[in-house]
Amino acid sequence: MSDKLSRLLRSAPVFREVSDSLLESLTGDATIQTLPKNTVLFRQGEIADFLYFILAGRVVLIGYSDTDEETVVEFFQAGDLFVAPAVILDLPLLMSVKVIDDETRILRVNATRFRELLQTEQTLALAVSRELARHWRMLVRQIKDLKLRNTAQRVASYLLGLVDCDSGSVTLTLPGERRMVAARLGMTPESLSRAFLRLRELGVSGSQSPEVEIADIAALREFCRYDGLI
């Protein structure tokens, strides 16, 4: 395994504390792929033969209804592990996975190999528990958002979740096209547009682009009572 790959893996929370030997055995028969945007990695309902770790770029998890309507469950980026739950349980995927960015680089680990390592490698099992715990909380936040907040509040708190400081001003980049962000937030693109309009008077600017500027983070936090718990 190259030093560069090793460093990349360790920069992600999930692999921060795993042993060298484990990293070695995990990546031993893994392959690295560089994929163009719109590549479909999995389709909802398939059994996952591989576990993926994102080295660079972004992907999106898309859920489908019976009538083939789409929704976005979550975006994932460099440092994230995905489809782990389906691989661990060897069950059909609940979502499709699509590449967002061109030149997205992913590490592809054989599912069976991963399940075997999970049974013998203490540090891997611990790392996976923590990663799943983080993801669990992410989803719980989304559920609370969907049930307890209106469109403008959902947009505001989503934006706040993308920035790392809690006052001042920033320019951030949305993780995908606005229609996908709208789907992630459980609304139509039209509603997202109107929500941004409502947030304009709170200092949120940006239109027709993935760039969004927040003039006063503290004011926006006040608006949606963002405390990291709701």
Partner DNA sequence: CGGCTTATTGACATACGTCAACTATTGTGG
Partner DNA sequence: CCACAATAGTTGACGTATGTCAATAAGCCG
Closest C-alpha to 131, from 54, 57, 69: 54
- Strand order of the β-sheet with 70-77 is 40-42, 96-99, 58-64, 70-77
Write each residue from 19 to 58 as x if it is in contact with a second copy (CB under 8 A), else as -, in one continuous string: -------------------------xx-------------
Name residues contacting a second copy, limited to 130-189 (CB under 8 A).
130, 132-137, 139-144, 146-149, 183, 186
209 binds, among DNA, a second copy, none (CB under 5 to 8 A by kind): DNA
Q: What is the dihedral of CA 104, 105, 110, 111, to 10 degrees?
A: -40
Q: How far is the CB of 188 from a second copy (least distance, A)?
A: 11
Amino acid at 164: D
Give CA–CA dist 179/166, Å, rounded. 27
Give CA–CA dist 48/41, Å, rounded. 10
189 binds, among a second copy, DNA, none (CB under 5 to 8 A by kind): DNA
151 binds, among DNA, a second copy, none (CB under 5 to 8 A by kind): DNA
Nearer to a second copy, 126 or 218 (CB): 126
212 scored as a contact of a second copy (CB under 8 A): no
Write each residue from 89 to 128 as x if it is in contact with a second copy (CB under 8 A), else as -, in one continuous string: x-xx-xx----------------------xxxxx--xx-x
Residue pair 96/59 in contact by the 8 Å Cβ criterion: no
Residue pair 85/197 in contact by the 8 Å Cβ criterion: no
Q: How far is the CB of 161 from a second copy (least distance, A)?
A: 13
Residue for token digits 């996908």?
A: 180
One of 129, 169, 171, 173 touching a second copy (CB under 8 A):
129
